[in-house]
Amino acid sequence: MFDVTQFSRDADKVLEVVGGDMATVKTGRAKPSLVEHVSVEAYGTRMKLMELATISAPDTTMIMINPWDKGNLAAIEKGIASAGLNINPVVESDHIRIVIPPLTQERRQEMVKLVKQKLESGKQMVRDVRLKYKKMIDDQKGKPGISEDTISADLETLQKKMDEYVAKLEKVVQEKETELMQM
């Protein structure tokens, strides 16, 4: 029998991954989510920036990072600079300031293309989850107590859930595109 809740859990994980991925796409607005997952070398190990500092966005063009341990300022600056986000951290006495420049129209369009690529990657991940459950349903053929109608109903339920999750992914992407194209 098809386990809808387990499929939903697996597909929700995909949504979470894609949502997190979308949060890293620069929109021209300063958001803590842009840098909070940046990996920083601190205390002899790799840590996420959000584990080392308070991150805030006092306005739409600036991110402020206040490390709890001021000795990590250089490591945090190096981690942000090497994260490939094309942003320049500026160290000021006991905090780091990042100014987010506004996006040009051309850059916005490039970002929309990137977001669409991330959508396709998300759809592929959901298809992979569906394939796993479709195989489990198909493997039930010929087993005692499992009729063709049951298999057919399970496949139909699986497809409906799949369509739901693809729609959720497209909604996340649509929201990001709208955010990107706002001046």
DSSP sequence for 91-134: EETTEEEEE-PPPPHHHHHHHHHHHHHHHHHHHHHHHHHHHHHH
- pLDDT for the residue numbered 1: 64
Amino acid, single-letter form, for residue 9: R
- pLDDT for the residue numbered 101: 78
Amino acid, single-letter form, for residue 178: T
pLDDT band at 168 (very low <50, low <70, confident <90, very high): very high
Q: Does the pLDDT at position 183 exceed 60?
A: no
pLDDT of 86-117, one tens digit each? 788 889 889 999 988 777 888 788 888 888 88
Q: Does the pLDDT at position 6 exceed 80?
A: yes
User: Phi and psi (nearest 5°) for 4?
Assistant: -65, -40
First vs last C-alpha separation in the chain? 50
**Structural domains of the chain, ranges and CATH numbers in brackets:** 4-22+104-181 (1.10.132.20), 29-99 (3.30.1360.40)
Of the chain, the percentage scoring pLDDT greater than 90 comes to 28
For strands 62-67 and 95-99, give the pairing.
Answer: antiparallel
Contact 89, 119 (CB under 8 A): no
Contact 80, 64 (CB under 8 A): no
Q: Does the pLDDT at position 54 exceed 90?
A: yes
Q: Does the pLDDT at position 85 exceed 80?
A: no
Average pLDDT over residues 54-70: 90
What are the tokens at 14?
A: 């995909």
Q: Does the pLDDT at position 23 exceed 80?
A: no
- pLDDT for the residue numbered 166: 92
Contact 79, 49 (CB under 8 A): yes
- pLDDT for the residue numbered 55: 92
Contact 37, 49 (CB under 8 A): yes
Average pLDDT over residues 9-13: 91
- pLDDT for the residue numbered 56: 92
pTM: 0.64
